[in-house]
Structure 1
Amino acid sequence: MRADNSQHIVDAARRRSEYTRAKAVQALRSLDLAGEPVTFETVAKRAAVSRSWLYAQSDLREEIERLRAVHRRDPSSPVPARQRTSDASLRRRLEAANARIRRLTEENQQLREQLARALGEQRAATTRTSPPRAGASDPISACT
């Protein structure tokens, strides 16, 4: 009776499948990191696998479709998906910018008030110490 070698064949098929899957995942990551369009065709070419095999892998298919949709929304953005700004991050940046604007507006208002007081004091000091100008008309005598 011959020995059953089917386990070796099953193991080889499993290793080949894992290797193929790892190539596809690596191709996906490298395309995304490079900011290149992620499509079934580009992933298949980069990983040297068939497009039909990619379609059969549900998790890989979903990731390709997600990255493809992101690229369609913003085709000019070469930034990889995982480095793109999230909505929460944008909200925090907007809140920080608004808080800074409020602080600067308050500071501007305080500085304007200080400047107005300083100019008023300077004008009062100048009018008290300077003699009347020659040829300047007296507003009370001009009315009579």
Structure 2
Amino acid sequence: MHADNSDHLIAAAKRRHEDTRARAIEALRDLDREGGSVTFPIVAQKADVSRSWLYTQDDICAEIQRLRDDRQHITTSTSLPASQRSTDASILRRLEIANTRVRELTTENRRLRQQLEHALGRLRTPITER
């Protein structure tokens, strides 16, 4: 009588499936971080899986489509990696800093205009009146 190895075969298949999913997810993360194109052929090649397998994984398929669509909406010719993209908080902070700088420059400009007015006024008055 032969030993029943089906448990071992099932366990090995599950490990292979999990390993394949992990490679595909890691490939997606890398591509997103790099900011390059995300397509089924690119993900399949980077993860060393078949394109047809990617299509059978609903969550991975949806993520590839989402990233691909996000990249198509970017109007600039060069995409930035995720680590270099500005967050809303950083953009707001930069705007606050810019507004503060504008106020400072406006105040300085007003002060310099007043100094110039006084200097020009002194030049216009005759020397005897000074």
Q: So what's the TM-score if we normalise by structure 2?
A: 0.77
TM-superposition CA deviations, 1:71-93 (whole Å, max 9, x none): 11126123123532234433332
Structure-to-structure mapping, 1:62-141, within 5 angstroms? 62-74=62-74, 76-121=77-122, 124=125, 127-128=127-128
List gaps (5 residues or longer) in structure 2. none
Aligned residues: percent identity? Answer: 53
2:42 aligned with 1:42, yes or no?
yes
Deviation of residue 13 (structure 1)? 1.1
Q: In the alignment, residue 106 of structure 1 is paired with which amino acid?
A: T
**1:31 Cα offset (Å):** 2.3
Give the letter aligned to residue 8 of structure 2.
Answer: H
Q: Is the 8 A contact 1:25 1:60 kept in 2?
A: yes
Deviation string, structure 1 residues 60-79 (Cα, Å, up to 9, x no partner): 22221221112111261231
Structure 1 gaps of 5+ residues are 131-144
Bigger-Rg structure (1/2): 1
- Shift, 1:59, TM fit: 2.5
Note the 1:20-31 alignment, pairs <5 A. Answer: 20-31=20-31
Tell me if the contact between 1:39 and 1:68 (Cα under 8 Å) persists in the aligned partners: yes
Q: Is the 8 A contact 1:35 1:80 kept in 2?
A: yes
Corresponding residue pairs, total:
129
1:55 aligns with 2:47: no
